Amino acid sequence: MSAGAQWGDLAPRLASGVAMAAIGVGAIWAGGLVFAALVVTLAGLLMWEAARLFGASDAVRSGVLGAVAVALALWLPGLFVLPLMVAAVLVAAGSVERARGPFAALALWALIGAWVMGGLRVEAGLIWVLWLVAIVVVSDVAGYFAGKSLGGPKFWPRISPKKTWSGTVAGWIGAGVVGAFFAGPTGAGLVLVPLSVLVGFAGQMGDIAESAVKRMQGVKDSSNLIPGHGGVLDRFDAMLGAALMAGLLRATGLLPGVA
């Protein structure tokens, strides 16, 4: 492969990444209704793409259902969260033509991940959302450049043929560095380093899981909404995986420094 072909997707990927980063960081910094609106919009787009991937007859309706479910979940007490999201997924699954079980798993994962991100900003504060985003971004960037530059054995070739062990390990190292950086500001201490690696690994598994779904459905990208990245599921799969792990650590009291 020529150098030009190897790095051919870098320019659109970088441009889209900068634009998304500007919007995301601005919304995270603003918090409140601004960040909630971004999370709700993201949830709707994720649900829409999931429905399209599985041949739903009315993917737009599914997207609206997902957005409404997450909006209500962010406003109502926690007791209502899971029933709301399960109901939205079940209604959306009714219009899916094939593989309703995998669709339901993908859609519920996306909605819960979006809800966790929204709740983390409200309940834990700005610093913890920045920590989560930094883990995903740094892991992705480190993995991308290490994988492209070093190559080597594939991590899971049957599901994600482009992922290499060099890129995977570089992602873990990047996540650990992020944990060390945020150890002081969050008050968590150096225990945040291995926890950050765990969250980074969960993000990588989110990426792998979404690759498995696309392979099942015979598509390269979840959509073409984001130049250089594909769709929102392609871009936020790692964030969803990392958010779920962070939410689990927080719920079980294993994330020090978080109320």
The answer to whether position 258 is within a domain reads no
* Residues 36 and 73: beta-carbon distance below 8 Å: no
Q: Report, as an integer, the average pLDDT of 45-64.
A: 92
- Quote the percentage of the chain above a pLDDT of 90: 58
Give the number of domains in the chain: 1
Question: What's the chain's average pLDDT?
Answer: 88
In a domain, 60, yes or no: yes
The residues that bridge with 156 in the sheet, in sequence order, are 160
In a domain, 107, yes or no: yes
Predicted confidence band at 2 (pLDDT cuts at 50, 70, 90)? very low
Residue 99 domain-assigned (yes or no): yes
Asked if pLDDT for residue 229 goes beyond 80, the answer is no
CB contact at 8 A, 181 and 127? no
Token digits of residue 220: 């390269």
Average pLDDT for 30-38: 94
Has residue 147 been placed in a domain? yes
Q: Is 257 contained in some domain?
A: no
- Residue 231 is given by DSSP the state S
Domain interval for residue 106? 10-251
- The dihedral built from the CA positions of residue 153, 156, 160 and 161, taken in this order, carries a sign that is positive
Is 259 inside any structural domain? no
Name the residue among 221, 234, 233, 220 with its Cα closest to residue 46.
233
Domain-embedded: residue 4 = no
